[in-house]
Structure formats: C-alpha cells, structure tokens
C-alpha cells in the first residue's frame, strides 16, 4: 500500500449520512486538535496497544530519514487510552490529509472514561503500509527518534508531548514511558 492513503480513506462510507462521528486519538491527536470539534472526552479502545512502529515521512521525519510515530497493534486484553472527539464529517478532509502517511480509517468501539461507549473511527497504520517500520526495542526506537526531525518539528517533541499528555490524563503506557527514559539518557 502507498504512503498516501487519502483516496482510500475518502472511499470509506460507513458513516455517510451521519451529522457527527466520534474519532479516537492515541498519538498526537491526544494533544494536538488542529480541527474544530463538538465535544472532547477521555476514552479508550480495547484489544489494541500503542506502538512506535510507524514511520513519519511527512511530519516528524523526511522521505530520506523518516521519524517514528505511534500506531496501534492488536493485543488481546490490552486497553489503549486516548482522547475521543465528536466531529462533523467535513473534518475528515483535513484529518485524512493529516494522517495520510499510511493510516487508514477503521470503525471501532470507543469507551468513554466515566462510562458509556459509541462506535466511531480511529486511524491505524497496519504493517502492510509502505511507511511501516516495524517492531524494535524501546532503546532502538529512542535512538531513532533522537535523530529524526521533519516539517512538524523534532521527532522527540512528538514523543515527549505524548508522554506528558498521557500523564496529565492519569494513564501509564510502559512502551511510551520506556522510550522516554531511553531518550532522556541520549539527550544532553
């Protein structure tokens, strides 16, 4: 699959005719909502875990030197915490462009902190996309992140802002925090 997934995502019609759709964010969407939304609520999805296995050729890296950003991978029993946004369908033109580097929309059940759930969407970068970098140790991921930068800034900034946002929400993510610890040892 190509790096650019805009057209594939535009063809998804599951929520056509809806006036609003819930969107689950687990990476930069937790702390960087650069789109209008109707409501924002802490939430989680079940059976998925966050991993820094996706390459970023367009935001936190370059085509020649991609950064590493978050995706989610299936893991039985796991819970991935993040932020849910209620948006109008018009926002997906912007979101599809923002998430174009290998991410596809997936329908998913979103569970809100405090109770209740709704079916919504999440962007996921599967291993068959051209930007997928795959598994590595947290130490190797930290070393990669320490060297990468792109038009949206240093790759380390993405990781550190995500770790800070998760802490502010009261959630622990061992993968993210382990990368953060390794990164702190690499940086002066």
Average pLDDT of 16-44?
A: 92
Query: Does residue 19 have a pLDDT over 90?
Result: no
Q: For the chain, what is the mean pLDDT?
A: 91
- What percent of the chain shows pLDDT beyond 90? 85
Q: Which domains does the chain have, with CATH numbers?
A: 6-186 (3.10.490.10)
Strands (E), the chain: 21-25, 39-56, 67-87, 104-112, 117-124, 149-150, 153-154
User: End-to-end alpha-carbon separation of the chain, Å?
Assistant: 39
pLDDT digits (tens, 9 = 90+) for 59-76: 999 999 999 999 999 999
Handedness of CA 57, 58, 59, 63 (dihedral sign): positive
* Helix-helix angle 138-147:155-169, to 10 degrees: 120
Predicted confidence at residue 76, as pLDDT, reads 97
Query: Does residue 100 have a pLDDT over 70?
Result: yes
Tell me the whole-structure pTM to 2 decimals.
0.89
Q: Which two tokens stand for residue 120?
A: 């919504």
pLDDT digits (tens, 9 = 90+) for 153-177: 999 999 999 999 999 999 999 999 9
**Catalytic residue ranges:** 99
């Amino acid at each position: 699959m190509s790096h650019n997934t805009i057209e594939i995502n535009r063809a998804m019609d599951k929520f056509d005719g809806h006036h609003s759709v819930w969107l689950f964010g687990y990476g930069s969407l937790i702390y960087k909502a650069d789109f209008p939304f109707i409501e924002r609520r802490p939430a989680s999805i079940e059976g998925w875990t966050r991993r820094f296995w996706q390459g970023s050729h367009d935001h936190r890296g370059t085509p020649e030197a991609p950064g590493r950003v978050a995706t989610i991978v299936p893991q039985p029993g796991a819970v991935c915490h993040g932020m849910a946004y209620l948006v109008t369908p018009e926002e997906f033109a912007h979101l599809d462009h923002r998430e174009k580097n290998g991410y596809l929309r997936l329908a998913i059940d979103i569970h809100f902190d405090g109770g209740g759930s709704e079916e919504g969407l999440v962007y996921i970068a599967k291993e068959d996309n051209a930007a997928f970098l795959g598994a590595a140790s947290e130490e190797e991921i930290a070393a990669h992140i320490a060297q990468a930068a792109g038009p949206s800034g240093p790759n380390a900034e993405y990781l550190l802002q995500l770790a800070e946002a998760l802490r502010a929400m009261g959630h622990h993510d061992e993968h993210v925090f382990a990368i953060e610890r390794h990164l702190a040892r690499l940086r002066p």
